[in-house]
Structures are given as structure tokens and as C-alpha cells.
Amino acid sequence: MKKLTAYLARMFVTDALILFGVVCFLLWLVNCLRSFDVVSVKGQSVLVLGVQALYTMPPLAIAFFYVCVGIGLARALQALQANKELHIIHTSYGLGSLWRATGVVAGAGVVGVLLLSNFVEPLAYRRLNALSASIAADLVSSTLRPGRFTQVTPGVVLLIGGRGADGAIQEFFADDRREPDMRRTYVAESARVASDGQNYVLELHNGSLQYKGSDGRFSEVTFGRYDVSVEQLSQPTGQADPMLGQDSLTLIAEAMASGQWSQPLLVLLANRSAEGLRVIGMAMMMLAMMGFPSGRRARIPVPMEAGVLLIAFGERGISAYSPLGTATGALAMILVAGIALLVRIRPRKLLMVPT
């Protein structure tokens, strides 16, 4: 690698990593503030609060990853433009080094975001589910106050009448409204939290399960004993997708072994892979917009950070509403940036000024 390429790549990567670290720290603080009820209501420690907020970070970090790459490139190229280094690079035939440095940043960004989306995010999803189930089990077994309605997760409310000396619960009530077309109500004379070493189960005795379907019909089932998974009650949604907790290599290996490639599996793999295309598209866009020196002065200076956010917003909008899939916006960025680069590097004729 040439010295100029190494110098530019180091500058690009440093700016992007610093910004990404700052954004992750701020998002972690925001998640801590949003989950503060873990400490104030559910009786957990500040350490549990911080760990839970950390496990919710990967989806947000992935969403902002290519934005940080774009802002890092834009700020570095803007600094090169301000101190005339960008002019020197172009006049001394250093454009190849600029392209290679951008390629190094884009390649490293693709590897990083794919590791986050395909491996780190599923691992954090599993750990978050296990932690949420542990918090819910502790809440039911020891922290829940008799005669007080307590929300375990948005849409699930618990109430107990009392607690025995051995930890048994009297007069258990749970209302589950997480699904818009289904409402479940659990009523039992007694309950107890049990564990098999890996999962927590809520044992309900002498009660009934009441539920109302999307057709408005009310049904009731009585039971002598009914076991409810605590993890099921602690999820934000009623039914968790098991594929979200598996890394892509495991999903692909299982699909190849069974020969069944379901549509949800293909969509999930495409969504995870699209993050790499976003990084490539954003890097190319910044190179096309900021990688060429200009002597023009804007009447109203617009910070490039806002420009990167607008580009990311447009890309997300195209991907969300396109019937072709989530990679549509990223492919559109790559196409537009590729055309812009071809236009800007094309040879131009010199104008002869008469003397």
C-alpha cells in the first residue's frame, strides 16, 4: 500500500470510528434512560440496566453504521479540501490512491457491518431474551408487590394477591394485550416460578385462561395446572421469531441440510446482507460529492453531516416502499454514485484563451 493510500485510509477510518464510538455511547445512554424502569419498578440493579441497554444496541448500531462511515468520509474529504491537499492529490496524479483508500474504508466497513448484522445482533437478541426472562422471573417470584398492577413488558400486566412463606403466590392475574387481534387473561388461585436450569416456567394452579380472538368471540379454558414460559410473557411481542436469534451461518447450514429455503429465511438473509451494500453506496456517494476539489463558494453553506443524513433518509425511504426488497435504496445509491464518478473523471477539453 502506498504511503498516500495509507495516509488517506487512516484519516478516513479514524474519523468514522470516532464518530461511530460517540454515536454508540449516546445511543447506549438513551437506551439506559428508556429502560430505567428496570431499576425503579422491577427492583433490578444499575448493572442489569446497563447490560440490558447494551444488548439492545446492535440494531441501532447497524442502522447508524453506514451513516457514520459517510460522515467520516465527508469530514475527512472536507478537511483535505480546506487545506488544499485534495487539489495536490488531483494535480499530482494521486486520484488512484484516493480511490484505493475509499475502497479500503468501504471494505472494512462492509466486513464490520456484516459481522454486526449476521453474528453480533443474533447473539445479543438471545442474550436479551434470556435476561428479560430472568428479570421477569425475579419480578414474579420475589419483587412483585401484592395488590399492585405491574407491567412486565409493554402490553403485559401482572397482579398478585399475596405471597406465602415458601415463595408461593396466591391469587395470580395476568393480562396480555401485546397482539392487536388477540387478548389473553390468566387467572389462577396459586402460582410458582420454576426453573430447569435454562428456562423459567410459571406454574399456574386451579385457574382459567380467557382469550378473545380477532372475531370478537370470547373463550375460556379451565385447568388444574398450566405452565407458561416466563420468556414468552417477557417478550415485547407475543411470539418471538426463533430465526432472529440464530446467526446466518447456522441458518444457511440448517436450510442446506433440510433443503427448505423458506421465504422468511431468504428475506432475513437479504436484509442482513443489504447492510454491506449500504456502506458501499454511501462511500461511493461521498467520494463522488466530496472527492473532487472545487473553487466555488456556496452562498448558504450546508454542513455535509446534514447531507449524509438526508441521503440515508432517502435510501431508507426507497428501500421501505420498494417492492424489489430492502437493498433497492443501496443499489440506487451505488448506481447514482457510479454515474456521478464517471461523469466527474471523464477527460475534458481545455479552452484556448485568445491572446
Query: Can you give the pLDDT at residue 111?
Result: 96
Q: How far apart are the first and last CA of the chain?
A: 45
**Backbone region of residue 155 per phi and psi (left: phi > 0; alpha: psi in -120 to 50; beta: other values):** left
SS3 281: helix
- Considering all CA atoms of the chain, what is the largest pairwise distance in Å, rounded to the nearest integer? 104
Whether 304 and 310 have beta carbons less than 8 Å apart is answered as no
CA dist 237 → 21, 181, 183 (Å): 30, 12, 12
Residue 289 to residue 16: CA distance in whole angstroms:
17
Query: Can you give the pLDDT at residue 239?
Result: 59
Cell, residue 212: 378473545
Q: How many residues does the chain have?
A: 355
Query: Can you give the pLDDT at residue 296?
Result: 61
Residue 327 to residue 107: CA distance in whole angstroms:
18
Query: Can you give the pLDDT at residue 299?
Result: 53
Residues 6+ apart with CB under 8 A from 85: none
Query: Can you give the pLDDT at residue 238?
Result: 55
Query: Can you give the pLDDT at residue 313?
Result: 93
Query: Can you give the pLDDT at residue 276?
Result: 94
The side-by-side arrangement of strands in the sheet containing 200-212 is 150-153, 156-163, 169-176, 183-195, 200-212, 218-229
Among 269, 250, 277, CA closest to 123: 250
One pLDDT digit (tens) per residue for the chain, 355 residues: 578 888 899 999 998 999 999 999 999 999 888 877 666 666 677 888 889 899 999 999 999 999 999 999 999 998 888 888 888 888 887 788 889 999 999 999 999 999 999 999 999 999 988 888 888 777 777 767 888 888 877 788 888 888 877 778 889 999 988 887 888 899 999 988 887 667 788 889 999 999 887 777 888 899 999 988 887 777 776 556 788 889 999 999 999 998 889 888 999 999 999 999 999 999 999 999 888 876 565 555 667 888 899 999 999 999 988 888 888 999 999 999 999 999 888 765 545 555 5
Query: Can you give the pLDDT at residue 314?
Result: 92
- 172-206 as b/e, with b when 16 or more CB fall inside 10 Å? bbbbbebeeeebbbbbbebbbbeeeeeebbbbbbe
Sign of CA dihedral 265, 268, 272, 275: positive
Query: Can you give the pLDDT at residue 297?
Result: 56
Query: Can you give the pLDDT at residue 141?
Result: 74
